[in-house]
């Protein structure tokens, strides 16, 4: 039954032509020798898994969250106290976010010390650094959304620091706040950036990141 | 290029799935034991003390507290922001173009290894500095 379904789909999409070379592609023995797997080569994958968990939990949070100063705090309180599993979903979102940033940092350290940024992989390192910056931008924009004391004042500090960059700083600060102070405009644009702009950008760059890994192969001792 | 090793599917993928479940389970466990917090509603007229940025921005925050020297007409605060935000990120992006040595063996690239260790130590130092020295 499954086999027939697979053949039916394959006849119409030629899927096997694309996925079978990927499936048969051998993983180098310094990553996994069949008995032990080197855990430092899992960090990028862990970060990706965190991203998937964040997208799923984020979708559920977006169903209840309201990005206005009058309603934001109340909607998060509602998620935490009255929505079934709401507190768990939000806590998973928060923990997966922290875990993702830690995994991305450790992944970067692994790539640095194994020299995996060297030719022909320079471009993928640059994309990786941009992915790291996007991940921290996710953290920065997400932090404001609960609109509690910590959210408000941590964002105030963040925007003050960013505004201190010479020449462009004041403009970036104004752009972030959507005006002269943290208010309704700031909250709604942080929400738009956090849930639309950053996820799309990250997904696109991740696609290129993975494609380049596929083209170059996993770096390591056989080079 | 031919590489000896496990085929990606199903051998390697099985290992990946095991790691994925372990990671997901850890996140669910942490989320159950330590739920996300929600403090008092935002009040623009009352600054809470102490207030810290997220842990992954603490090194910037710590560096700003650490750097207290004006360079000529440039204020200390501006210097701190430029070094920790602009300069550091640019340096990270430029790593493959600065290090032109094609050697991947750790023992044959001592300068890159020393600079890497110093960078990690510095980020850790300024992170702790950001929390401890108020």
Does the pLDDT value for residue A71 go beyond 50? Answer: yes
Pick from B24, B106, B20, B16: nearest CA to A27: B16
pLDDT of residue B1: 42
The angle that helices A122-144 and B88-98 make with each other, rounded to 10 degrees, is 160
pLDDT band at A143 (very low <50, low <70, confident <90, very high): very high
Mean pLDDT value across residues A153-171:
93
Tell me the shortest Cα–Cα distance from B47 to chain A, in angstroms.
Answer: 7
User: Which CATH number goes with the domain that contains B48?
Assistant: 1.10.287.980
Structurally, chain B folds into a number of domains equal to 1
- For B52, which residue in chain A has the nearest alpha carbon? A154
The separation between the first and the last C-alpha atoms of chain B, rounded to the nearest angstrom, is 56
CB contact under 8 A, A129 and B93: yes
Tell me the shortest Cα–Cα distance from B123 to chain A, in angstroms.
Answer: 11
Who has greater pLDDT, B20 or A24? B20
Pick from A79, A56, A77, A75: nearest CA to A66: A75
Alpha helices in A25-121 (DSSP H): 43-64, 72-81, 86-113
Answer whether residue B32 is part of any domain.
no
- Fold assignment, A39-216: Cytochrome Bc1 Complex; Chain C (1.20.810)
Mean pLDDT value across residues A201-207:
98
CB contact under 8 A, B55 and A98: yes
Q: Model confidence over B106-134: pLDDT tens digits?
A: 888 999 999 999 999 999 999 999 998 76
For residue B84, give its domain range: 43-132
CA–CA separation, A117 and A124 (whole Å) = 7
Mean pLDDT value across residues A76-99:
97
pLDDT of residue A221: 55
Q: What angle do CA B6, B8, B14 make, to 5 degrees?
A: 90
Q: Is the Cβ of A73 closer than 8 Å to some Cβ of chain B?
A: yes
ipTM above 0.85, yes or no: yes
The angle that helices B58-66 and B110-132 make with each other, rounded to 10 degrees, is 80
* A149-188 residues touching B, CB cutoff 8 A: 149-154, 157-158, 161-162, 164-166, 169, 182
Does the pLDDT value for residue A223 go beyond 50? Answer: no
Answer whether residue B121 is part of any domain.
yes
Q: Model confidence over B45-82: pLDDT tens digits?
A: 988 878 888 999 999 999 999 999 998 888 898 999 99
* A2-21 residues touching B, CB cutoff 8 A: none
Are B108 and B24 contacting, i.e. CB atoms less than 8 angstroms apart? Answer: no
CA atoms within 13 A on the CB side of B118: 6
Answer whether residue B123 is part of any domain.
yes
Mean pLDDT value across residues A156-182:
93
- Select from A24, A126, A149 the Cβ nearest to the Cβ of B43: A149
Are A125 and A152 contacting, i.e. CB atoms less than 8 angstroms apart? Answer: no
């Amino acid at each position: 039954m499954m086999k027939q379904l697979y053949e039916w789909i394959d006849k119409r999409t030629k899927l096997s032509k694309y996925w079978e070379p990927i499936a048969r592609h051998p993983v180098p023995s310094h990553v996994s020798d069949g008995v032990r797997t080197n855990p430092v080569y899992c960090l990028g994958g862990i970060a990706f898994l965190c991203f998937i968990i964040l997208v799923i939990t984020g979708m559920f949070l977006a169903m209840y969250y309201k990005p206005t100063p009058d309603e934001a705090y109340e909607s998060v309180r509602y998620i935490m106290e009255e929505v079934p599993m709401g507190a768990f979903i939000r806590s998973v979102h928060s923990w997966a976010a922290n875990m993702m940033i830690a995994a991305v940092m450790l992944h970067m350290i692994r790539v640095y010390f194994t020299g995996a940024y060297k030719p022909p992989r320079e471009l993928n390192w640059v994309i990786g650094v941009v992915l790291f910056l996007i991940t921290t931008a996710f953290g920065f924009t997400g932090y404001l959304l609960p609109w509690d004391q910590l959210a408000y004042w941590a964002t105030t500090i963040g925007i003050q620091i960013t505004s201190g960059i010479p020449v462009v700083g004041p403009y970036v600060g104004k752009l972030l706040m959507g005006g002269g102070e943290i208010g309704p405009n700031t909250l709604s644009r942080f929400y738009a950036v956090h849930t639309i702009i950053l996820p799309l950008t990250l997904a696109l760059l991740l696609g290129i990141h993975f494609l380049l890994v596929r083209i170059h192969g996993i770096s390591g001792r056989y080079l | 290029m031919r590489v000896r090793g496990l085929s990606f599917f199903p051998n390697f993928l099985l290992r990946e799935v095991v790691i994925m479940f372990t990671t997901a389970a850890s996140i669910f466990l942490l989320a159950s034991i330590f739920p996300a917090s929600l403090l008092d509603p935002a009040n623009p007229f009352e600054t809470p003390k102490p207030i810290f940025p997220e842990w992954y921005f603490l090194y910037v925050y710590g560096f700003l507290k650490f750097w207290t020297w004006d360079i000529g007409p440039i204020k200390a605060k501006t210097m701190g922001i430029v070094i920790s935000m602009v300069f550091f990120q640019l340096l990270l992006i430029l790593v493959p173009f600065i290090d032109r040595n094609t050697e991947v063996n750790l023992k044959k690239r001592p300068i890159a290894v020393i600079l890497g260790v110093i960078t990690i130590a510095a980020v850790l130092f300024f992170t702790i500095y950001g929390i401890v020295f108020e």
